[in-house]
């Protein structure tokens, strides 16, 4: 049995938490969301994380649950790995939870050439 999910949003509701975001997230702007969780059976790629930071500019807590390896290894060669990628910035992030997350996502967040985190981010992982 396949299950689906959807969210209905009102412009007058100040949503602070957005749970179980999947790859086909529409990319809207959520000015008040400070906590988000990402969950999918398909891998998250660099562009998806870029879309998340653009949609949730005040994000303080990010939870990633995904055990699928990333498909796009950003050129796959170390010397060219980061040339064509936009740097993803999380200026307000205080907590990063990589729970049941494939090790590719640990690299996504801890390699400074791909991602820029603020100082003193609490990291929780089961790597």
Domain assignment present for 108: yes
Domain assignment present for 116: yes
Per the structure, the count of domains in the chain is 1
pLDDT surpasses 60 at 53 = yes
Domain assignment present for 42: yes
Q: In what order do the strands lie in the sheet with 61-66?
A: 17-21, 35-39, 61-66, 95-101, 122-125
Considering only residues 102 and 77, tell me which one the structure prediction assigns the higher pLDDT: 102
What's the full length of the chain, in residues? 127
Print the domain residue range for 70: 17-125
Domain assignment present for 6: no
pLDDT surpasses 70 at 60 = yes
Confidence label for 58 from pLDDT (cuts 50, 70 and 90): very high
Say which residues have a Cβ less than 8 Å from residue 78's Cβ, sequence separation at least 6. none
> What helix, strand, coil percent values describe the chain, rounded to 5?
15, 25, 55
Residue found under tokens 């990063």 = 96
Predicted TM-score (pTM) of this structure: 0.81
Q: What is the mean pLDDT of residues 38-57?
A: 93
Q: How far apart are the first and last CA of the chain?
A: 30
Domain assignment present for 4: no
Domain assignment present for 103: yes
Confidence label for 84 from pLDDT (cuts 50, 70 and 90): low
Domain assignment present for 121: yes
Confidence label for 77 from pLDDT (cuts 50, 70 and 90): very low
Domain assignment present for 8: no
Instruction: List the beta bridge partners of residue 35.
Output: 17, 61
């Amino acid at each position: 049995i396949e299950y689906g999910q959807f969210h209905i949003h009102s412009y007058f509701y100040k949503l602070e938490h957005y749970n179980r975001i999947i790859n086909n997230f529409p990319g809207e702007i959520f000015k008040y969301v400070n906590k988000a969780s990402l969950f999918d059976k398909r891998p998250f790629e660099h562009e998806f994380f870029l879309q998340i930071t653009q949609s949730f500019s005040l994000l303080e807590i990010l939870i990633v649950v995904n055990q699928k390896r990333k498909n796009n290894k950003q050129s796959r060669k170390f010397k060219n790995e980061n040339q064509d990628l936009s740097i993803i910035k999380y200026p307000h992030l205080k907590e990063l939870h990589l729970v049941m997350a494939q090790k590719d996502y640990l690299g996504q967040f801890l390699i400074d050439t791909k991602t820029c985190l603020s100082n003193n981010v609490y990291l929780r992982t089961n790597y």
